[in-house]
């Protein structure tokens, strides 16, 4: 399947996988980058073949300024995803579904961002400070593991950068979208805490 052939597909992780992945987000560190105080993150790279993950050497994450106007042309270094997460069947399930839906080849590197986006009371947090954007890959998947005490934060898919979304949904509990990153643009609505209790949205973003 060529990149142009695949468009968009929705899916759902198993309840067991969601429960397995949920606790690891509490261990995400802050960073010194522009979004580091409100988007906690780990980042790793893998290939996935014969239902087996191979972790690739660590590297900095960077996007061109024309793709990411918020913090493009910055080599960002993050701590890797924890080994207990990587070795879990839940983590493998994400790769399996991503590869099957977009028909990604075995040798294709898959980059993974594990993020917690923090909500505040009485003030909005930009879940995607890049705005409506593409990530510069062929395929993109957003897995929302948990929404806790937040309003907003819907994932949006747009046919063009200046066009209204064709899909806007508050993904939760393992719901996910896989899309053609060359064909579509995406964003996420700002979010805020519903009350004074801890508020956040936990997501994995996979790109290939």
Domain ranges within the chain, ordered by starting residue: 8-207
Is it the case that residue 148 has pLDDT exceeding 70? yes
> What length does the chain have?
208
Supply φ then ψ for residue 58, to 5 degrees.
-65, 145
Task: Please tell me the least confidently modeled range out of 87-91, 92-96, 121-125.
Answer: 121-125
Is it the case that residue 65 has pLDDT exceeding 70? no
Supply φ then ψ for residue 84, to 5 degrees.
-65, -30
Q: What is the pLDDT of residue 34?
A: 78
- pLDDT, tens digit, 9 for 90 and up, residues 21-32: 999 999 999 988
At 129, list the tokens: 């400070």
Q: What is the pLDDT of residue 70?
A: 46
Neighbours of 188 (CB within 10 A): 24
Is it the case that residue 63 has pLDDT exceeding 90? no
pTM of the model: 0.91
Tokens 């053609």, residue located: 180
For residue 25, the SS3 value is helix
Q: Which CATH architecture has domain 8-207?
A: Sandwich (2.60)
Q: What is the pLDDT of residue 69?
A: 45
Is it the case that residue 205 has pLDDT exceeding 70? yes
Is it the case that residue 89 has pLDDT exceeding 60? yes
Neighbours of 90 (CB within 10 A): 19
């Amino acid at each position: 399947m060529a990149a142009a052939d695949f468009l968009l597909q929705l899916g759902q992780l198993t309840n067991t996988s969601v429960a397995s992945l949920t606790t690891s987000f509490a261990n995400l560190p802050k960073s010194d980058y522009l979004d580091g105080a409100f988007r906690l993150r780990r980042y790793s790279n893998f290939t996935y073949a014969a239902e087996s993950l191979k972790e690739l050497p660590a590297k900095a994450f960077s996007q061109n300024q024309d793709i990411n106007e918020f913090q493009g042309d910055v080599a960002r270094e993050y701590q890797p995803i924890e080994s207990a997460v990587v070795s879990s069947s839940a983590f493998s399930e994400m790769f399996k579904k991503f590869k099957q839906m977009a028909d990604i080849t075995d040798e294709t590197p898959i980059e993974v961002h594990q993020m917690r986006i923090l909500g505040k009371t009485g003030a909005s947090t930009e879940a995607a400070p890049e705005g409506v954007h593409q990530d510069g890959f062929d395929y993109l998947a957003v897995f929302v593991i948990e929404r806790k005490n937040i309003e907003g934060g819907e994932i949006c898919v747009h046919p063009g950068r200046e066009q209204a979304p064709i899909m806007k949904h508050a993904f939760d509990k393992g719901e996910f979208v896989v899309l053609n990153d060359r064909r579509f643009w995406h964003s996420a609505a700002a979010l805020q805490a519903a009350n004074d209790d801890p508020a956040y949205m936990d997501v994995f973003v996979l790109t290939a």
